[in-house]
Structure 1
Amino acid sequence: MNYQIARNFVYRNARPLDIARWKFLFENGSQEDVLKALAEYQNEDGGFAHALEPDSWNPNSSPIQTWVATEIISEIKLKNKNHPIIQGILRYLGSGDNFDGHTWFNTITSNNDYPHAAWWDYQPTQSVPYNPTASLIGFLLTFTEVSDPLYSLACRLAKEAYLYFKQIFPTDSMSTATCFVNLYEYLKEAAIRDLIDMQEFCSLLQQQITYMIEYDTEKWKTEYICKQSQFIKTKSSEFYMMNKDICEFECEFISNNQNSDGTWNINWTWDRYPEEWHISKNWWKSDWIIKNIKFYQEFCSDSINIHE
C-alpha cells in the first residue's frame, strides 16, 4: 500500500474536516482543529446537516447527520461533556425534533428537497427505526449527567432498543447492526451494566456480526457488502478474536486493492443528481482512505509510516 499517494489525494481533494481528521489520526494534528471543522456543519439548534453525511445535502438538522458527528467525536476521543458541540447535540436530541418518543427518525421530510441518495428519501414509516437511534442512545448515556432528565430518557430508550433487537435478531440491516454494536461499546465504556444484560447482549452481537459479514471475498471488490471493519475498530474489541482471520484478510485486501490515485473503489452510486454525486463520491473516497488506513494501522503486522 502506498501511503504517500493516499495522503496526496486527501490533501488535494478532501473537505477541511477530513484533512483535519487525517492530521489528527496520522500526523499528530490537534483535536481542536477537527472540532473547529466539524462545528461548521452544526446548526443553531445543535443538530448537524450540510452533507456531513455526504449522501444527503439537506441543510436542515437531522438525526442521521447528527449521528455522523457523534462518530467523529468518538474517533477523536473527545470526552469533555461541556464542549459546545456536545452540548449542542444534547440540546438537539432533547428538543423532541424528529423524534417520536421512542426513536429518532431515520429520514426527514426536507431530505426530498435537496440532492441525496435514494436511501435517504423521506419515508413516512421508518424501515430501520434503530438506525441511528441505538447509537444516539449510547451517546446520551455517555455525555449526559445522571441527574439530567435526558439521561432518564436514554435509560428507558436503551431498554426498549434492546427488546427490539432481541425481537428482530438477527437483523439483515447492516446499519442497524452497526448502531447496536455502537450502543454496546458506549455502555461498556461508560461501565453501565445494570440497564440490560450485557453478557447476553455481547453474545447476540457476536452472532449478529458473524451473520452479517460477507465471507465471499470475491464480492468485496465490486459489491456493497458488509466487512468486519464495519463493527470491529480495535484489537481490544470483544469481537476481534473470533474474526481475527478475516481481519487479517482485510489487511491484505486493503493493501492489494488500492487504486493508482491512492483511493479505494466506492461500491455504490446515486440514481439522481449526477453532478452532486460526483462531488460526494470524491468526499467518500477521502473518508474511505482514512478508514482503510486506520484499520490497516490497527490490525496489520507491518508498521505504518505515513511519510514513506
Structure 2
Amino acid sequence: MTSLKAYQNDDGGFGNAIEPDLRAPNSQPLYMEFALRVLYDCNIKDEELSQKACDYIAKHAVLKNGIPTIFSSSANYPRAEHWNNPLSAEPSFSRLTGLVGLLKWQGIKHLWLDKATEICLSIRKFTSIRVYQRTYYRQFLSLGRRFPKLRTFSSRIFTIIDFLL
C-alpha cells in the first residue's frame, strides 16, 4: 500500500507514471483505473484511498458521457505512440463504468458513486458494447453477486455481452 499511495496525488487521483506508457506526473483516469485494479487484483480494500479516488472521478467525469482515458494535458509528457490517438482524450462511458465498478467493489459510501451506479445501470448504455469494452462492463456487472439490484440485470447483460463476442 505504501508503494501505491506514493503515486496518489493531492487531488485524489493517481499520476507520476504509474502506468509506464505515459510519463505524466499529473493525475489521469488511466492511472486511476490502474491503481484501483491493483487493489482489486490483490483483494485489498482501502477506504481512505478509495474515497479520495471517488472524489477525483466525481470532479472529472460527466455522467452522461463518461471520462477520458487520458487528459489532453498528457501530450506535454513522453508517452507511447498509441496514446497519441485523439480518441484517448474523448469521454468514454466504458471507462467510467469500469471505474464505478472498481469503486463499488471497495465498498465505500459516496453520494456521487450511488448516482453514477444508477446511470451505469441504464440499459441503453449497453446497446453498443465493443469487444475491448467487455472488461469494463464485466467489472461493473460482477457486483451483481453483492448487490441484489444488479443481480438480475447483470445476468441479462452478461448474456448479451457473450453473444456479441
* Fold-level similarity (TM above 0.5): yes
Instruction: Confirm whether residue 158 of structure 1 aligns to residue 120 of structure 2.
Output: yes
User: Matches of 1:76 and 1:43 in 2, distance apart?
Assistant: 21
- Which among 53, 57, 62 is matched to residue 100 of structure 1? 62
User: Matches of 1:151 and 1:195 in 2, distance apart?
Assistant: 18
Higher helix share: 2
Deviations 1:264-291 (A, max 9, x none): xxxxxxxxxxxxxxxxxxxxxxxxxxxx
Asked which structure has the greater CA Rg, the reply is: 1
1:163, CA displacement in angstroms? Answer: 2.1
Gaps of 5+ in 1: 1-34, 212-308
CA RMSD across the alignment = 2.5
- Which among 27, 31, 45 is matched to residue 79 of structure 1? 45
1:131, CA displacement in angstroms? Answer: 4.1
TM-score (norm 2): 0.84
1:135, CA displacement in angstroms? Answer: 0.8
User: Matches of 1:59 and 1:196 in 2, distance apart?
Assistant: 41
1:45, CA displacement in angstroms? Answer: 0.7
Question: Which is further off, 193-202 or 57-66?
Answer: 193-202
1:123 alignment counterpart: 86
Preserved contact between residue 30 and residue 70 of structure 2 (Cα < 8 Å): yes
User: Matches of 2:114 and 2:151 in 1, distance apart?
Assistant: 11
Which amino acid is 2:23 matched to?
Answer: W
How many residues in Structure 1 have an aligned counterpart in Structure 2?
163
TM-score (norm 1): 0.48
1:46, CA displacement in angstroms? Answer: 0.9
Gaps of 5+ in 2: none
User: Cα–Cα, structure 1 residues 121 and 76, in superposed 2: closer, same or farther, change >3 Å?
Assistant: same
- Which among 56, 65, 68 is matched to residue 34 of structure 2? 68
1:197 alignment counterpart: 153
Preserved contact between residue 15 and residue 26 of structure 2 (Cα < 8 Å): yes
1:79, CA displacement in angstroms? Answer: 2.9
Instruction: Confirm whether residue 58 of structure 1 aligns to residue 24 of structure 2.
Output: yes
Preserved contact between residue 49 and residue 62 of structure 1 (Cα < 8 Å): yes
1:120, CA displacement in angstroms? Answer: 2.0
